[in-house]
């Protein structure tokens, strides 16, 4: 065990860990990370600027059905691409809270909202700087729709940066997963009964993806009646005026979906799961 722990550090440990998860596929995944990811232009009518983002990110955000919802929350919103996807699709009387805990990233988010959305939409987007993991201590069950694009291990960036790759260890995953759970459990408490939340990451490992959903089930769904997981179902007509892209290849996981760049023409990686809250956690 001591020898195994010593190996699971740096580049060698990184490759060993993910080879065990993906087997022979790991080589093709690694190669795909170094290929150029063709970003999609997202241009909302009458906006000052376009925004470019991964087609997998657009697809994940599309899985949050915002029609009919009045109060929407993007809990970890910077740099702002998914906020644009939500805001451009919401009803004319809906409000979107777009939150980021880092003041620097919040500033960048504000600029994206101001320049990439027309005024009639941006005036209904409230940008805030708050720790999402503690938001539930101030409010509860107050948003009909929530997107939680959680901070994650982001292996695609790790493998491209020698500084992060050389210092990688499994403890990084454990630390990030603790932060994700704090955000996820807070977001669930903020979700109204009959509300829908999309949990997403750009991580590859199941600890940050399906295992996070499993944790939510054990915590809040012991009787099987508190929430259900929905199937991916999107309406491409909602964004045909704003972006031109093809639906990437989607792979089903135990509790959600994953888009991986080796089979999705460079898009991703993205994981997402769709949670429909059936009853109040107070009941």
Please report the DSSP string for 154-200 in residue order.
-HHHHHH-HHHHHT--HHHHHHHHHHHHHHHHHHHHHEEEEEEEEEE
Contact (CB, 8 A) for 112 and 80: yes
SS3 146: strand
- Active site residue ranges: 202
Tokens of 15: 């490759």
Contact (CB, 8 A) for 62 and 88: no
Tokens of 224: 């099987």
Tokens of 142: 């107050």
Please report the DSSP string for 96-126 in residue order.
EEEE-SSHHHHHHHHHHHHHHS-HHHHTTEE
Please report the DSSP string for 211-271 in residue order.
HHHHHHHHHH-TTS-SEEEEPP---GGGTTTT---PPPP-EE-SSSEEE-TTTTTT---EE
State how far Cα 192 lies from the chain centre: 20
> What's the alpha-carbon Rg for the chain, to the nearest Å?
19
Centre a 10 Å sphere on the Cβ of residue 18 and count the other Cβ atoms it contains: 18
Q: Which of 233, 245, 265 is nearest to 52 (CA)?
A: 245
């Amino acid at each position: 065990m001591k020898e195994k722990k010593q190996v699971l550090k740096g580049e060698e440990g990184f490759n060993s860990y993910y080879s065990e998860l993906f087997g022979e596929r790991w080589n093709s995944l690694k190669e795909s990370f170094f290929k150029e990811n063709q970003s999609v232009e997202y241009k909302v009518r009458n906006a000052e600027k376009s925004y470019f983002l991964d087609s997998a990110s657009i697809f994940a955000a599309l899985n949050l059905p915002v029609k009919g919802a009045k109060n929407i929350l993007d809990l970890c919103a910077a740099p702002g691409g998914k906020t644009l996807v939500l805001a451009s699709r919401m009803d004319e009387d809906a409000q979107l809270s777009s939150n980021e805990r880092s003041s620097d990233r919040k500033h960048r988010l504000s600029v994206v909202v101001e320049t990439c959305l027309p005024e009639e939409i941006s005036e209904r987007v409230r940008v805030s700087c708050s720790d999402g993991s503690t938001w539930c201590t101030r409010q509860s069950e107050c948003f009909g729709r929530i997107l939680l694009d959680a901070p994650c291990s982001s292996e695609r960036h790790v493998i491209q940066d020698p500084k992060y790759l050389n210092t990688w260890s499994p403890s990084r995953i454990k630390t990030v997963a603790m932060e994700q759970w704090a955000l996820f459990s807070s977001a669930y408490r903020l979700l109204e009964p009959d509300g829908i939340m999309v949990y997403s990451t750009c991580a590859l490992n199941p600890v940050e993806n399906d295992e996070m959903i499993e944790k939510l089930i054990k915590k809040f769904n012991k009787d099987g009646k508190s929430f259900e997981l929905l199937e991916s179902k999107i309406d491409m007509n909602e964004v045909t005026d704003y972006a031109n892209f093809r639906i990437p290849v989607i792979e089903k996981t135990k509790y959600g979906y994953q888009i991986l760049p080796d089979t999705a023409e460079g898009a991703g990686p993205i994981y997402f799961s769709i949670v429909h809250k059936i009853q109040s956690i107070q009941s």
